Amino acid sequence: MRKVLVISFVCLAVRCDMFSPRPVETPQGVFKDPLNLSAILNATQQSFSKTAYDDILHPDFQFIAYNGRIFTHAEEISRLNSIIVNKTVSASWDTCSGNYQVPPDTMILCRRFQAGYRAAQADSVIDSGETQLRLEYYSPKNTWTIREWHEIGAMSIFNPDFTQ
């Protein structure tokens, strides 16, 4: 009786293709960065997690608007996701004066940005301006993050209150 049971199980297992290797799964949720925030970070020559905007921004992140209003990590993530929803917006970043590092765990960066729609013939500019970013080393993840984003001069496309 046992032999019959074992033989039945083996036949069933072979028939179900139980011992064949599974096909390799394609990676899910590959991070796309049309706002090029990773370009800001790459210029620092430091290690950053670039798997999602949620990882690039520090858990205690603050967006400090031109008028002094403060927005949270969740509000900024929501804004960044709303900007890239149609996948036609992109941004470029350039350095400006005022970059310095406070060892061992803080950097202050000044960046000029230009955001626009990618068009077939020429890019159209939506917004441009300047911002000051405070980067901080985040030891639980062993990477650097953006801790504060100071909007300079006027409301930018990155401001959670921005409407077009």
φ/ψ of 130, rounded to 5, equals -135, 145
Pairing of strands 143-152, 57-64: parallel
pLDDT in tens, 139-156: 888 888 899 999 999 999
pLDDT in tens, 65-107: 999 999 999 999 999 988 887 667 888 888 887 777 777 889 8
User: What mean pLDDT comes out for the span 45-71?
Assistant: 87
Domains and CATH numbers, the chain: 31-152 (3.10.450.50)
pTM of the model: 0.74
3-state secondary structure of 2: helix
